[in-house]
Amino acid sequence: MKLEAIYHKPYSEFAFPVAPDTLVIRLRTAKNDVNTCILIYHEKYDTSQRGKVKMDKVASDGMFDYYEVELNVGIKRIKYMFYLEDNYSIKWYSSDGFFDYMPQWGHFTYSYICKDDIFHEVEWFRNSTIYQIFPDRFAKFPPDTENSGKRTIHGGNIKGIIDRFDHLVKLGVDVVYLNPIFKSESYHRYDVVDYYEIDPMFGSKEELRELMDLCHKNGIKVIFDGVFNHSGDKFFAFRDVVEKGEKSKYANWYFINSFPVQGYPRPNYECFSFYGGMPKLNTGNPETAKYFLDVVKYWTVEFGVDGWRLDAADEVDRKFWRKLRDMLKDLNKDVVLIGEIFDEASSWLWGDQFDSVINYPLKAMINDLFAYRSIDVETFRNRISGYIMKFNKKVLSSLVNIISTHDTPRFLTLCNGDEKRFEMAVVFQFTFPGVPLIYYGDEIGMEGEGDPDCRRPMIWDEAKWNKKTLELYKFLIGLRKRFDALRTGEYGELPVTGCNGILAYRRGRGENGIIVAMNTLDRKENVVVETGDSFDTVKAFESLKDEERLNVDKKRINICLNPFEWRIYKACGEL
């Protein structure tokens, strides 16, 4: 038994509550090393309340297996240890280490399941599909017929979004996420000059109210982009620092290394990256924090903003995020907070900071399998499993799943225009746990390299749309609305025999379960997917095909998949 690989830590992703009477406990072991894992537990102060339960292996990555149990035994104060067997030995594992006998002391402890420590999902958000709009590039009203797509500023505005609102309704999205709309110096508006004003090029506050009302009347939520890591260099506080130097009452609003302030050739103050036009805000300063908390409160209360996507969130102090969360949740517990974090972000997702993050690590895996084809299915599955085990399981259904954003090349371009591989990625995005985000134009087949090419103006000439891609998005959005399994069902890998290039997995169980299978290879494959006892019969359905009844036995489906073909299966029951 490889003891050095065995790991557990209370109050982490290895032990967390999901309900007032339920504690999830996980254990990591070396891959294919342990045959049996049993949790032994008792009440913290009353050892007569005791028991044991076998743990299930729920995931495996390249190096480790992960065992899990949801302990619901009527006690909230729990002491526990693990009993392990391999082919040759037995061990007991406690906080004091490993033993050949059951120790009397040294139990791991979860002292009390506190109701307020449970991560609570924002239900409307978890059930949503998001549509991201880059305002300058989406639509202009009246339309600009001379827009060649080559200018820096294209003049998109709020009236343009209103004019094209029917596109969002027909698509079926539930949320509109707007990149920054506040008064700024640039076309992207991440260098804010005035946080209390709409950029005049976008329109007026009255027009914004009209858009907000239109969205809400059609059941569509609105998420704003909050830029609180940095301001623009024309923001009143920074201008004052530039003018008055260390005597400015706003000097502590920023991180100034020396005076006088110099932006070029190299800023002598901290900023976003090393761009002097975006000086970094000191949100640890109480006056700075209060100003931006008031900004968020103003837009949330006055305009009914439903959520905030928070730019460069991992560069802002967590005390500020906790203050922001407490303030917003007191106003409206259903306001959603989404952090923009490019790396693994589980430490922001314990219910005290964010409700969700933009899931860039998942995008990296999707890129590697479907776009770059740099990894095989086994590697992909290993990476997915390891990633899932980093999170409180209640968080997964709320993470924002992306394949394209305003900061990345469009996914179809990453696929070198290969529509089949693009389709597979979209199917995975919509059927993996999380909230799918559509970057404007992806639904009609737009392409684009990195910033700024990925921010091309939206194409409104329908003759240039990829109608098949549009129908795929409509189909998948509708599928998520129809089946709870795709919004809340647990994810589980399914064994495949016959070819290692087939990715197969399930969402949910029983007659409400969904099975997905896709061929990531450029050749036709015949395979058998092991579905388990919960799937008695299945029906297959795709966006552009009629339903087909499959003759299967209780535990497997025989599938013939063409190159880069995908299938979605519904377990027995009505479609």
pLDDT tens track of the chain, all 575 residues? 999 999 999 999 999 999 999 999 999 999 999 999 999 999 999 999 999 999 999 999 999 999 999 999 999 999 999 999 999 999 999 999 999 999 999 999 999 999 999 999 999 999 999 999 999 999 999 987 655 555 688 999 999 999 999 999 999 999 999 999 999 999 999 999 999 999 999 999 999 999 999 999 999 999 999 999 999 999 999 999 999 999 999 999 999 999 999 998 899 999 999 999 999 999 999 999 999 999 999 999 999 999 999 999 999 999 999 999 999 999 999 999 999 999 999 999 999 999 999 999 999 999 999 999 999 999 999 999 999 999 999 999 999 999 999 999 999 999 999 999 999 999 999 999 999 999 999 999 999 998 899 999 999 999 999 999 999 999 999 999 999 999 999 999 999 998 889 999 999 877 778 999 999 999 999 999 988 765 655 666 654 455 555 555 567 888 899 999 999 988 754 33
Residue 54 shares a structural domain with residue 24? yes
Burial class (CB in 10 A: 0-12, 13-18, 19+), 412: buried
Give the count of beta carbons closer than 10 Å to the beta carbon of residue 135: 28
Residues 199 and 318 both lie in one domain: yes
Strand 545-549 to 514-519 pairing:
unpaired
In this structure, what token pair is assigned to residue 510?
A: 């029983």
What pLDDT score was predicted for residue 498? 87
Query: Do 51 and 179 have their domain in common?
Result: no
* Confidence (pLDDT) at 144: 72
Q: CATH number, domain at 537?
A: 2.60.40.1180
Same domain? 414 vs 393: yes
- State which H helix or E strand residue 239 sits in: helix 236-244
Provide the CATH number for the domain around residue 138: 3.20.20.80
The partner residues of 71 in beta bridges, in order of sequence, read: 23
Question: For position 534, what pLDDT does the model report?
Answer: 57
Question: In terms of domains, do 369 and 499 share one?
Answer: no
Q: At what angle do helices 318-331 and 286-303 cross, to 10 degrees?
A: 30
- How many angstroms separate the CA atoms of 57 and 385, rounded? 11
- Which of helix, strand or coil describes residue 212? helix
**Whole-angstrom distance, CA of residue 132 vs CA of residue 435:** 12
Q: Does 241 share its domain with 322? A: no
Same domain, 337 and 475: yes
Q: How far apart are the first and last CA of the chain?
A: 47
Of these residues, 13, 65, 136, 311, which one is catalytic? Answer: 311
Residue 363: domain span: 123-229+281-482
CA distances, 337 to each of 174, 278, 327 (Å): 16, 23, 12
Q: Is 382 found in the same domain as 448?
A: yes
Number of Cβ within a 10 Å radius of residue 526? 11
Domain-terminating residue out of 67, 99, 117: 117
Say whether the peptide bond before residue 436 is cis (omega within 30 degrees of 0).
no
The backbone region for 149, taken as left when phi is positive above 0, alpha when psi lies in -120 to 50, beta otherwise, is left
**Cα 59 to Cα 384: distance, rounded to the nearest angstrom:** 9
CB of 323 within 8 A of CB of 293?
A: yes
Bridge partner residues of 518 (DSSP): 503, 566
Say what the pTM is. 0.95
Backbone angles phi, psi at 416, to 5 degrees: 55, 35
- Catalytic residue selected from 340, 443, 447, 525: 340
Verify that 286 and 382 share a domain, yes or no.
Answer: yes
Q: Given this model, what pLDDT does residue 543 score? A: 45
Separation between Cα atoms, residue 380 and residue 67, nearest integer Å: 20
DSSP state of 544: T
pLDDT at 574 (0 to 100): 39
Domain count of the chain? 4
Q: Where are the beta strands (DSSP E) in 86-220?
A: 90-94, 97-99, 108-110, 130-133, 175-178, 182-184, 192-198
pLDDT (0 to 100) of residue 547: 56
Structure tokens given for 90 = 């037995």
Distance CA 465, CA 105 (A): 68
CA angle centred on 460, ends 456 and 466, rounded to 5°: 85
Active site annotation includes 311? yes
Number of other CB atoms surrounding residue 170 within 10 Å = 10
pLDDT digits (tens, 9 = 90+) for 97-125: 999 999 999 999 999 999 999 999 999 99
36 vs 55: CA distance, rounded Å:
8
Q: Are residues 452 and 553 in the same domain?
A: no
Domain limit, last residue, from 117, 141, 172: 117
Query: What's the CATH code of the domain at 263?
Result: 3.90.400.10
Cα–Cα distance, 291 to 226 (Å, whole number): 13
Q: What is the pLDDT of residues 446-479, one digit of tens each?
A: 999 988 999 999 999 999 999 999 999 999 999 9
- Single out the residue in 246, 280, 314 at which a domain terminates: 280
Q: Quick one: which of 435, 421, 542 has its CA closest to 486?
A: 435
Are 209 and 247 within one domain? no
Q: Are residues 359 and 412 in the same domain?
A: yes
